[in-house]
Amino acid sequence: MGETGRRAISTVFDVTLCLLLVSASAFVLVGAQSSRQAMTNEEPTGKEPTAESTANVLVTSTAAVNYTIRTEQKSLSRKNHGTLAGLLTEAAIANTTVHGSKLMRESENFETTVARRVRNQVGITNGTNTQVVVRWQPYRDAHIRGETAVGNSPPRDATVHAASVSVPSGLPGVRDDTLDAARQDGYRGVARVVATGIVSGLLPEHSTNLALHDRPPVADSAAGRFQRLGEQYYTDLPSGANDGNGIGTRQTLVRAITATIETELRKTFESPAEAAQSVSVGRAEIVVRTWSA
């Protein structure tokens, strides 16, 4: 494969992490005040930054991070650039778990590097009363989710102020499709749309297929992600997860994930419409919490 193809893989798929680019222009800052702050309409006093000001720094400040992806064959050096909010969201997606089991085993170095950069740039130290938590879940109480955190949790007796930032996750936004599917095919339809969005987001077709045909460290890591997803959903995938253009593998994964999601939606939501309203495949939430003793 030529250098152009390799650069495409590094930029879009980034070997094993699927570090999806997030547009800063799409960030929406929404206040999520603590109950005490909402009642008194008071801002925290003192020199400590507020939750809102810290959230604003995450959205507007950019950074570059250098990190290493460790495969079975070798370590690969990578560099990523974006807003702090975007990098944190990528770290949360890279830290995706299925029923509590981590999907992308090579993500630790990236997550640690991003956390260190955010700490340094925002000024979050062990003595700073600030925590940033990023969560992605495709629907409420989903068994598949991604999360990362920077800073310690506030004490239970602290007065906490919070602000949340809704950001693109990098996965497809499928809310409208799930609303249509709920009317036409009930829980099953919603589950199928969500599963398709998850597979196409975590394993983007074009860049993943390029990776499967690249050098052994890249190809093996890409195939490994297919395999780990299959194992989590107790389904056998085509050998090497490389059945030509991967269509059969993706269809197998979508069917298996659909079945699991449908069961979960039926237990969690009273109607398919309610389930569809909860879908947030294409969004993640960054919550900044500050507190005083």
Mean of the per-residue pLDDT values for the chain? 78
What is the 3-class SS of the chain, one letter each residue?
CCHHHHHHHHHHHCCCCCCCCCCHHHCEEEECCCHHHHHHCCCCCCCCCCHHHHHHHHHHCEEEEEEEEECCCCEEEEEEEEEHHHHHHHHHHHCCEECCEECCHHHHHHHHHHHHHHHHHHCCCCCCCEEEEEEECCCCCCCEEEEEEECCCCCCCCEEEEEEEEEECCCCCCHHHHHHHHHHHHHHHHHHHHHHHHHHHHCCHHHHHHHHCCCHHHHHHHHHHHHHHHHHCCCCCCHHHCCCCCHHHHHHHHHHHHHHHHHHHHHHCCCHHHHHHHCCCCEEEEEEEEEEC
What pLDDT score was predicted for residue 33? 41
What pLDDT score was predicted for residue 79? 80
Residues 6+ apart with CB under 8 A from 187: 262, 265, 266, 269, 272, 275
What pLDDT score was predicted for residue 6? 38
What single DSSP character describes residue 157?
Answer: T
Q: Read off the pLDDT of residues 8-60 as tens digits, 9 standing for 90 and up.
A: 333 333 433 333 333 333 344 444 444 333 333 344 444 567 899 999 999 99
Q: If you average pLDDT over residues 104-125, what whole number do you get?
A: 86
Lowest mean pLDDT of 109-123, 214-228, 238-252, name the range.
238-252
φ, ψ for residue 27, nearest 5 deg: -65, 140
Residues in the chain: 293
Q: How far apart are CA 231 and CA 181, in angstroms?
A: 27
Residue 279 has pLDDT above 90, yes or no: yes
Q: How far apart are CA 59 and CA 61, in angstroms?
A: 6
Instruction: Identify the burial level of 51 via C-beta atoms within 10 angstroms of its C-beta, where 0-12 means exposed, 13-18 middle and 19 or more buried.
Output: buried
Domain-wise residue ranges, the chain: 13-172+282-292, 175-278
